[in-house]
Amino acid sequence: MANTVLITGASRGIGLELAYQYARDGALVHACARDLEHAEELLALAAKFPEQLELHCLDITNDSQIKALDRALGDSSIDVLIHNAGCYGPKGIKFGEVDREIWRQVLEVNTLSPLMLTQALYCRVAASRHKTMAMISSKVGSIADNQSGGGYYYRSSKTALNQVVKSLSIDLAGFGVRVIALHPGWVKTAMGGPNALITTEESAKGIIQVIENEDSYISGGFYDHTGDSLPW
């Protein structure tokens, strides 16, 4: 089990559950959220695990806040860096209705920001024992799996994120850093909705198992929460 984990988007949903499971199992968790003041569940979790959870205010689209996070981490290394923060954008948008600025906003959160945060923190991951980065991607980012069209904002942002993962797996290989893309499943969250198939507990448990199994899930791969390999 990783000793130190950093998770973005930890105030709710999958990120909150990942923070809980890692903290419960004894890891030091740096839990990042854009609005800590209103992150009631995360604050309650920190009160329950005061020795395991350190909270950080982080808007991943804000480079100044990324730099501030790096300073706040001091000399800490990071065994596992989980890029979980993301956004879907408006749902039900069809061809002919795509808005340029909204598309930019989704790409900013889902694609550009994980890479910018990686550039700031990769040395900390490289200095750790586990040396793992996990990007929470999505099956809808798979080009081969796209049978229904639409979803331009979210699909394109996750497809691009998968390409970032592949390039990072090559560029960081010399540091011994493993970088993987993970589909969390269709999860009952604010994004996934009430009709989703699995709970955040099931998703997070599977994600952690894939992350921790360093020998089976190689750098540059795209996997789901059960460990199955997904097509690009």
Residue 32 to residue 60: CA distance in whole angstroms: 9
What pTM does this model have? 0.95
**DSSP state for residue 229 in the 8-state scheme:** B
Residue 165 to residue 137: CA distance in whole angstroms: 10
Residue 83 to residue 211: CA distance in whole angstroms: 12
Residue 232 to residue 163: CA distance in whole angstroms: 9
* pLDDT in the model for residue 188: 74
Residue 56 to residue 11: CA distance in whole angstroms: 11
Here the contacts of 151-154 (C-beta below 8 Å, separation 24 or greater) are 151/93, 152/93, 152/95, 152/98, 152/103, 153/88, 153/89, 153/90, 153/93, 153/98, 153/102, 153/103, 153/106, 153/107, 154/88, 154/89, 154/106, 154/110
Taking only the tens place, the pLDDT of each residue in 10-63 is 999 999 999 999 999 999 999 999 999 999 999 999 999 999 999 999 999 999
3-class DSSP state of 112 = helix
Taking only the tens place, the pLDDT of each residue in 70-93 is 999 999 999 999 999 999 999 999
Measured CA angle at 152 (ends 148, 153), to 5 deg:
140
Token pair for 64: 């100044």
Among 95-104, 130-139, 181-190, name the one with the lowest average pLDDT.
181-190
Residue with tokens 């989704």: 106
Spell out the domains of the chain, with CATH numbers in brackets.
4-224 (3.40.50.720)
Q: What's the mean per-residue pLDDT of the chain?
A: 95
Residue 173 to residue 213: CA distance in whole angstroms: 18
* pLDDT in the model for residue 29: 98
| Average pLDDT for 127-156 | 96
